[in-house]
Chains A and B, each alone.
Chain A
Amino acid sequence: MRTRPALVTAAFVLAAIPLSVPAQGFVPTKPVEFITHTGVGAGGDVLARFIASAMEKEKLLPVRMHVANKTGGGGQTAMAYLVEKRGDTHTISVYTGIWISNPLMLPEAKTTMKDLTSVIRLLGEPGLIVVKSDSPIKTFGDFIEAAKRKPGELKQSGSLVGGRDWVLRQLIGKQTGANWAFIPFPTMADRLGALLGGHTTIQLVDPQEAGEHIRSGALRVVVQVADKRLGPYPNVPTLKEAGFDVPSMTLYRGVVAPPGIPREVVAYWENVFAKFVQTPTWKKYLEDNVLEDGFQRSADQSKFFDEYADTMRAIFRDGGIKVVR
């Protein structure tokens, strides 16, 4: 009985500490937990591990970052974990586009980006639309023409309804009036396998996952889904250059923090990452993996979250997906 008031006081004091940290004074004092919603070896995890080791190499942090995989629920497990960590100044997380789009269509996905603290946007993933090399389709225009001639007969290897590749299909379909089947496959292996086996016609790939198949001549790039031509593919037009005026719907990745952390902590992380994106290590990483620089500070990124969610809402409604938020 006697211990309870003491505990309450202690808890109160502990809870109050983050708020009392002076403006420039925040510096992490223990290892930072760096969350990703993907399993080891998948996109978000690779990025998180790269950042953790590069931060150490560039000596930008006084402490180490250790990567923790909170997988499941299409990102929701990781998001819910961050909400639980409210006020924790030593936890940050990488996010990807599905953190914004999943809550729009899944009633179970209760945590949204509004529940988290925006820190920084880091990179954008461009895409390539590829066909099997023995396909008669040489340009993206050929594909659209063929799709118009035989509505519904051409097929796209896809990820899932609501995914980026599905969104692009909706946008391009709407602009051109062409219609083709979007066939979802759960893993990259299934998608690429169906395309390489000649069972589907086109696929939106990220340059890194299909690079070797393009290099070997098994796949041909017909158009780039990027705002400007990517380094390794100087001779392939972008969507806009090919005459399709649709947004690239680039998939962005960046960093968010738990809710309820003080301004100066956000500012600290912002500055660390602003220095980080200037390092040659980071620039080489972007180049090696054919990624776009997507740098945005906290406030801009918050605006981006809202805009992106609005865009997606409109596209989902248009495509017959029930929008729940």
Chain B
Amino acid sequence: MDIFGSLLQGFAVAITPINLFWCFVGCFLGTVIGILPGIGPAATIALLLPLTFQIEPTGAVIMLAGIYYGAKYGGSTTSILLNVPGESSSVVTCIDGYQMARKGRAGPALGIAAIASFIAGTFGVIGLTLLAPPLAKFALRFSSPEYFALMAFGLSMVVLLAGESFTKALLAMLVGLWLACMGIDLFTATSRFTFGTPNLLDGIDFVVVAVGVFALGEVLSNMESRHSGQMLPVPKGIRNLMPTWQDLKDCRFAFLNGSVTGFVIGVLPGAGATIASFITYGIEKMVSRHPERFGTGIPEGVAAPEAANNSDAGGALVPTLALGIPGSGTMAILLAAFILWGLKPGPFLFQDNPQFVWGLIASMYVGNVMLLVLNLPLVPAFAQILRTPAFVLYPTILGISVVGTFSVSSSLFDVAMLAGFGLLGYTMRRLDYPAAPLILGFVLGDSMERSLRQSLMMSQGDLSILVSRPLSASMLILTALVLIVPMFKQANAWRLKAAG
């Protein structure tokens, strides 16, 4: 049967009232947990899993998938309003989103995030519909050397994330890389930097670092100023709360860039939405005509990472559905759910359970529309949060951060570490160290080290494996360009200065 016939059948499944209901429940829950920092879609799906045995698997999967991509819509909300990343993949959104809010443009930022999410989310599903089997095969060609090259490319983005001092950005990134290597080392069965405590055997959770450095750091540094009134300006009138036509025009390329990059990286089982959003942001800044304005609160800086992390959702489902190989951590839980429901994930899933698979895919088109309709009207309402007086808002953020972190693994040790990272974030702010490179290093460090060591084991220690494979070689060349081009620009600038 051709794809369109299957998709139409899928729609027949997806738009039955009961499945529409599950889709809505999923999207709604997803938005809510996306807004709350700490608790993410993976944990929510895990929590709800036992309840899904009561309902029919197609309805259940429609709901759980709704939670997954719905969370990505909600994730941007607190990033923009409070500098608190609601989801791991919305860390990058903080950079320009929060600056927009500081300039009184919280509404337009939220609107752009929702529109970017919708466009890219739909793009991701179209990609999933049309290209799942061939793309899944492509993903298998990616192995350790390719992942290493991709991570190296990601890490080179530090050049673009650096603020005034490149040295400070590098130092922050190195701290991130160090934090990433804590825990059991798979290659030698020894533990690293655990300081003798079993609590660090699994390393540090991403939520602890991101919420600590961003949210707590922000709260602490805001406590210094004595004024207790409204924290950020919120203009009156609905028109000022929505993105302008010019904003959308500025974001045209960001929508496309985020959609494509996010989807392609999403398809790869070894790289996720967080990496995708960093890379998209970097690309956006590289090709921009005014790169110096990134980080000061421009709509492209919000649209690009938000598009990437939504398009990633469709991408992550490609290997999950076509091969039974989870495209991300959350997908691994979804696959486990398939097994618990009595389905057999793997190469036969499309063939054996067409109703289930196509019903799910069709529901994602519906879900993305639902999310847009759900999220856009909320923009003016959310923007009002900023009118809350600081003495109410900051303790609330603090409370949400602590509860959110505790909810990840019910560990007080994590909460103590959260406090530590809060202090680190505060100190970094005081000393003008950018936080994003630290997160970048933390996200990439583990898989970058691992893929390098795997590659070298594959080649028996021969470094040429990294450049002799076309995919990895081309990504490494790109990485070199990212690192070298700014140097030339700098040299040119100096020469001009000397000449003039």
Closest to B50 in A: A49
Contact A155 B458 (CB under 8 A): yes
User: In the complex where A41-B49, A72-B201 touch, is A160 in contact with B186 (Cβ < 8 A)?
Assistant: yes
Contact A41 B458 (CB under 8 A): no
Interface range for B: 35 or more
Please tell me which one of the listed residues B143, B186, B198 contacts residue A76 in the complex, with CB atoms under 8 A apart.
B198
Closest to A195 in B: B140
Contact A215 B458 (CB under 8 A): no
Interface residues of A in 87-110 (CB under 8 A from B): 105-110
Please tell me which one of the listed residues A106, A181, A200, A216 contacts residue B191 in the complex, with CB atoms under 8 A apart.
A106
The reply on A134 being an interface residue by CB < 8 A is: no
Interface residues as binary, A286-302 with B (CB distance below 8 Å gives 1, 0 otherwise): 00000000000000000
Contact B333 A40 (CB under 8 A): yes
Which residues on the A side are within 8 Å of B325 (C-beta)?
Answer: 189, 192-193, 196
Closest to B143 in A: A199
Closest to B140 in A: A197
Interface residues of A in 188-231 (CB under 8 A from B): 188-190, 192-194, 196-200, 208, 211-213, 215-216, 218
Which residues on the B side are within 8 Å of A160 (C-beta)?
Answer: 184, 186-187, 189
Which residues on the A side are within 8 Å of B143 (C-beta)?
Answer: 193-194, 197, 199
Contact A105 B189 (CB under 8 A): yes
Interface range for A: 35 or more
Contact B202 A72 (CB under 8 A): yes
Which residues on the A side are within 8 Å of B194 (C-beta)?
Answer: 108
Contact B196 A107 (CB under 8 A): yes
Contact A189 B332 (CB under 8 A): yes
Which residues on the A side are within 8 Å of B190 (C-beta)?
Answer: 105-106, 322
Shortest C-beta distance, A272 to chain B (Å), equals: 22
Shortest C-beta distance, A57 to chain B (Å), equals: 13
The reply on A46 being an interface residue by CB < 8 A is: yes
User: In the complex where A106-B191, A108-B197, A212-B348 touch, is A190 in contact with B269 (Cβ < 8 A)?
Assistant: yes
Contact B201 A73 (CB under 8 A): yes
Which residues on the B side are within 8 Å of A216 (C-beta)?
Answer: 346-348
Contact B269 A74 (CB under 8 A): no
Shortest C-beta distance, A307 to chain B (Å), equals: 21
Closest to B323 in A: A196
Contact A199 B144 (CB under 8 A): yes
Which residues on the A side are within 8 Å of B199 (C-beta)?
Answer: 72-73
The reply on A62 being an interface residue by CB < 8 A is: no
Interface residues of B in 123-174 (CB under 8 A from A): 139-144
Shortest C-beta distance, B68 to chain A (Å), equals: 14
Within the assembled complex, what's the spacing in Å between the Cα atoms of A59 and B344?
A: 29
Which residues on the A side are within 8 Å of B197 (C-beta)?
Answer: 108
Interface residues of A in 158-205 (CB under 8 A from B): 159-162, 181-190, 192-194, 196-200
The reply on B460 being an interface residue by CB < 8 A is: yes
**B-contacting residues of A (Cβ < 8 Å)?**
39-42, 46, 49, 67, 69, 71-74, 76-77, 80, 105-110, 152-153, 155, 159-162, 181-190, 192-194, 196-200, 208, 211-213, 215-216, 218, 316, 321-322
Given contacts A162-B189, A186-B186, 13 further A-B contacts (CB under 8 A): A40-B49, A40-B333, A76-B198, A77-B411, A105-B189, A108-B198, A108-B200, A189-B269, A193-B140, A196-B140, A198-B140, A212-B324, A212-B345
